[in-house]
Structure formats: C-alpha cells, structure tokens
Structure 1
C-alpha cells in the first residue's frame, strides 16, 4: 500500500492493491512519511473503508484530531451494536459516535457531565440501543478512567437509533420521537388513571405504533388517508373511551405540533389503545 495522505503520526490514507483509498492506523505508521511512500504493514493495527465518499472524508478529517484509542473504542462499540441491535447501520455512525465519544471524554476529564432528561424514556423505548450505550460507557470508563453515567448511555443510544435509518432525512429524529411517544403515552395513562405492563405484547405494539406515528409528525407526513370514516364511527361506539382518548391525543398534537391527525391515524390509535386497556 502506498500513502496518499498523512493525517497524523498514527494515521494515513493509503491506496490498497485494488486501487481503493483506505484509512490505515497504527502507532507511528505515518511518522516521517510522505506521499508515495510504502506503508509498513507491520505497523498497521486498523484499516477502515466507508462506501460513502462524503462520510469517509468526514471521518478522515475527524481522525486528525481524535486519539487512536478513542477511534478504537468507537469501532468496538459499533461492532458490538451490530450484533446487539441486529440492524444495518448508516455509515455516518462512525463519524457521529467517534466525535461524540471524543467530546464526552474531554468533558469528563474537565469534570463536566451533561444530564439527559429523557434517559429513562430512551431506555424504555429503545432497550437494545440503551444497552449498547451502557456497554459504551463501561468501556470508556474502564479505558479512560472517567466516570460517565447512564445519562451518557442514553446520548450514545440516540446515535444508534438515528443510524438505523438509511434515509438521511429520517436521521436525528430520535429525541423528538422519544418526546412525542412519552407525551402520548402520558395522555393515555392520565385518561385511564393507570400504569401499563411494559413487558406485554400489546404495550410493545402500542409503543411501536407511536414511534412511527411520532416520526410522521416530525416529518409532516400522513398515512394515505383511505375512506375510514364508517369504520371509525363503528369504533367510536364500540370503543368509546379509547376513541375519546385518541381525540385528546389529536387535540394535543394539533395544538403543540400543528399536525392534523387524519381519520386513518385516529383509527389506528383507537385500535391500539383499546387493546392496551381492554382488561381495565
């Protein structure tokens, strides 16, 4: 491999045998090296290639200032997340997570710890991602000798929630989604004066529906509204209280988010709420 660009003493962009530019990292790998020099393979500890050129460029720029130990932590956590979450992750996670970990460590060493008011809601609605965040905190604390807590685990979890969307327009919605889901859930709890079994299948279905519902609100999208008025009228009589509760959600969302819930949205909300409270 030949060096195309040195980033710092420990990182460089090199061209492999297939003519593809890859990021190579290792202690002293680029020390006193110039463009065209051969990479000392024995010094290579890590290589990385990202398919998206813009993301690769961003990550390359990031590596200039981020210690290799922190890049290594980020990669370890991403590999753990791929197994734990079991979903394809957008390559931007390499940039966002590495940058976040770098800044979190920097703040922690300065004695600055950020609170996350939505941490327990993130833990409830995204348990696998939160578990990844907790693993990340453990790895960071052990290797960097800092004292990050569950607040930071929730921040990291959000990066993985966002990275599960390949569509860039759907990224960075996790906080807004969590907030709306909690608001809707609280309306239902208050209306029926109850708590829910968070391990039940109906609760899982309800929260899953709310996540997609919240995503549509934030993106200003609706279901293709079919002629559901007759069915909705039937549900209004058969499931009077769930329907009235759905109306309260409709009024709240309209007032706070300037989003009009259609008949289809109202129908699905009513069905999910009726399942959730059927034994009350």
Structure 2
C-alpha cells in the first residue's frame, strides 16, 4: 500500500488495485514517512472507501481541521446505526456527522447550547435513531467529559435519518409535518387516538417515514404493481383503503405526488393493522 498523500501522522491517502482512492487511518501510520513510501496492512486500523471522489476530497479537507478522534467517534456511531437500523447509510454521513460532533462538543464546552426544535417529533417518529443518539451522548460524556444532552441526541438521530432517506436537514421539518398530517387524517377518519408506545404504531411510522421521504424526493415506488392484489386488499379492508385514498388526495394536492398502486396497497395494510388493534376497523373478510 503506497502513500499518495499524508493528511497527518495518523491518516494517509492511498489507492486500491482498481485505483479507487482510499482514506486510511492507523496510529502513527505516516510518522517519518513521505509520499511514495509503503505501509503494511498491519499498520491499518480503518479504511474509508467513499462512494465518489467528491466525498473523498471533502473528508480529506475536513480531517485537515478536525482531530481524527471525531471521525473515530462518528464511525462508531455509524457502525452502531448500520447494525441496529439494519439499513444502508449514505457515505456522506461520515463527513456530516464528524463535522457536527466536533462543532457540537466545542460549542458545549463554551457553554453554548442550541435547542432542537424537532426533538419531540424525533422521539416520536425516529425512536431507534434517537436511542442510538442517546447512547452516543453517553459515550461522548465518558470520552470527552462533555454532556451534550438530549437535544444533541436528537441532532445525531437526524443525521442517521438523513443518511437513510437522502434528504436535507431543512426537508426534515417538512417531512415530519407530512407525517403528522397523515397521522391526523387516519386518526380523524377512524376517530381514534393512537398509543405511540405500541409496536404497531412504531411499525406504522417506520413505513410512513420512508413513504414521506419518497414524497419529499419525488421518487415514486416503481415496483411492479399488482392490480388484482390491490383489489383484494381493497375488498378486505374497505375502510382502511378509503382512508388511504384521502391520504392520496392530500399528497396529490399539496405535493403533486401520485401514489402508485403498490404504495396504496402497503399503506392500506399498515393502516388496517394499526387501527384493528384499537377495534376501530372492520375485521378481515373471510
């Protein structure tokens, strides 16, 4: 492995056999070395192969200003997120989360705290990500002797949400508003209040968040539509389907987004299961 660029004593840039650029980290990996020197695999602790050259360059620029310990911390959180969320995360999170953690920790050390206006929604809609954020705050307190608090746990959660849905931070506000409105439509239609601690509500909001992110990105589900299956579901859950049609009217009017048959089918099933647990929806037809 040949050194192409040295960022600091612990981080170098090299390439793989296909000439793809790699950011390689290892304690003292570049100490007393120069460009062109070789490093062994045994000196490597972590390798970052980012999805495109632009992200790789941004990470290099970031590491020139931010201590490597923050990238290590971000990587721990990201690895935890991939495992617990069982979902791929966009490579851009290595840059955004590293930068955020560095900024947040330095800011709190100066006794400056930024309130998270989305915290209530994050706790409600993104419970798994918020749990990871809380664990991260605990690790940070032990390692950096700084208590970031629950607001920052929420901000860390948002980075994990964004890395799954590929939307900008500003769009998260609109996405949560959309989710709120859909839940209001379902609640009003069936005249129910949901138990937000129930597993059924969690499953529903998990489905809803990805549906909402597709609307934000104008990416319709392009799966093969099975009209016959949709008709079966429509007959089986007529009230739930009727409710979904009201949701479809709402997103069409406000976002110019037309739900596919697949989206109607799966959302109908989720709505039916959710409200059936409250005894407010028709039983399944035989």
TM-score past 0.5 threshold: yes
Per-residue CA deviation, residues 222-268 of structure 1 (Å, 9 max, x unaligned), is 4567768x9499759x745x456445434443443233456765565
What residue is the counterpart of 1:91 in the other structure?
91
1:36 aligns with 2:36: yes
State the number of aligned residues: 272
What residue is the counterpart of 1:185 in the other structure?
183
What residue is the counterpart of 2:205 in the other structure?
207
Preserved CA contact (<8 Å) 1:232 1:263: no
**Secondary structure of the corresponding residue to residue 124 of structure 1:** helix
Matches within 5 A, 1:63-78: 63-78=63-78
Q: Distance in 2 between matches of 1:130 and 1:210?
A: 17
Q: Which runs of 5+ in 1 are unaligned?
A: none
What residue is the counterpart of 1:249 in the other structure?
247
The alignment's TM-score, normalised by the length of structure 1, stands at 0.74
Q: Distance in 2 between matches of 1:233 and 1:56?
A: 47
**Secondary structure of the corresponding residue to residue 135 of structure 1:** helix
Q: Distance in 2 between matches of 1:63 and 1:113?
A: 24
The alignment's TM-score, normalised by the length of structure 2, stands at 0.73
What RMSD over aligned residues (CA atoms) do the two structures have, in Å? 4.0
Per-residue CA deviation, residues 130-157 of structure 1 (Å, 9 max, x unaligned), is 2221121122222223231222222212
**Secondary structure of the corresponding residue to residue 4 of structure 2:** strand
What residue is the counterpart of 1:23 in the other structure?
24
Matches within 5 A, 1:47-126: 47-54=46-53, 55-126=55-126
Q: Which runs of 5+ in 2 are unaligned?
A: 281-286
Give the direction of change, closer, same or farther, for the CA distance of 1:234–1:91 in structure 2 (3 Å limit).
Answer: closer
Higher mean alpha-carbon deviation, 91-100 vs 252-261, is at 252-261
**Secondary structure of the corresponding residue to residue 277 of structure 1:** helix
Higher mean alpha-carbon deviation, 255-264 vs 51-60, is at 255-264
Higher mean alpha-carbon deviation, 50-59 vs 217-226, is at 217-226
Preserved CA contact (<8 Å) 1:123 1:154: yes
Give the direction of change, closer, same or farther, for the CA distance of 1:61–1:46 in structure 2 (3 Å limit).
Answer: farther
**Structure 1 ranges of 4+ moved more than 6 A:** 15-20
